[in-house]
Chains A and B, each alone.
Chain A
Amino acid sequence: GENVEQHPSTLSVQEGDSAVIKCTYSDSASNYFPWYKQELGKRPQLIIDIRSNVGEKKDQRIAVTLNKTAKHFSLHITETQPEDSAVYFCAASYSGGYQKVTFGTGTKLQVIP
């Protein structure tokens, strides 16, 4: 089955700096890669996703890059703000009638004001 590794497990940045979280996956059949943000005690919420036919996607301060050959993808947050503090999970899944999503281990991001 799919195995997703995520680094780092914790990340502290100063407000306004950039944050980068990296993930690798094992199953070359995976073709959908969502990123979720989970605040303490709340549900995971999708912040950005990328499909295997795209190398990069950007949404305001958030961007994701995908290298299919190397089987890794990364989340980039620029101009970080205190409200970006949360746990971020990368995930990988394979298309079909439903998604069997495998999550990474999570990165706890702390943005220091």
Chain B
Amino acid sequence: DTEVTQTPKHLVMGMTNKKSLKCEQHMGHRAMYWYKQKAKKPPELMFVYSYEKLSINESVPSRFSPECPNSSLLNLHLHALQPEDSALYLCASSQGQGKNTEAFFGQGTRLTVV
């Protein structure tokens, strides 16, 4: 199984809503990532979890709150978002054991904030 699965595929939310994005992998990877991708731009790193601990927060606003309940799951909790937060949110995972190995991306959640 070389899949990273993200749900939902599409999400429309109001600025006062609270929602969560979910990501799951069963490849035994110990590093998991959230990226944000705007149209015609490269993915931008938001958070990195290594062995279920938050290792990198790229100065992301607190309205985005990551969570790693276990080694297979990664969540991104959303609250009070702004229309400019509309983007494709990509989850990725990699082996994360001191080697540079391939990062596998999920299909992404296309988020629209209205």
Contact = CB atoms under 8 A, between A and B. Distances in A.
Does B associate with A? yes
Contacts of A89: 42-43
B102 A97 contact: no
Given A43-B90, A49-B102, A95-B98, A100 B56 contact: yes
A105 interface: yes
Interface in A34-75: 34, 42-46, 49, 51
Interface residues of A, number: 25
In this complex, the member of B31, B51, B100, B105 whose beta carbon has the largest number of chain A beta carbons within 10 angstroms is: B100
A57 B104 CA distance: 20
Contacts, number: 64
B55 A98 contact: yes
A98 B31 contact: yes
* A interface: dominant SS: loop
A49 B31 CA distance: 19
B50 interface: yes
- Chain B contact patch, size range: 20 to 34
Nearest to B40: A106
19 contacts: A43-B108, A46-B104, A49-B102, A51-B100, A89-B42, A94-B100, A96-B98, A97-B31, A97-B50, A97-B55, A98-B55, A98-B56, A99-B96, A100-B56, A101-B103, A103-B43, A104-B42, A106-B40, A106-B41
Interface of B: 30-31, 33, 40-45, 48, 50-51, 55-56, 90, 94, 96-108
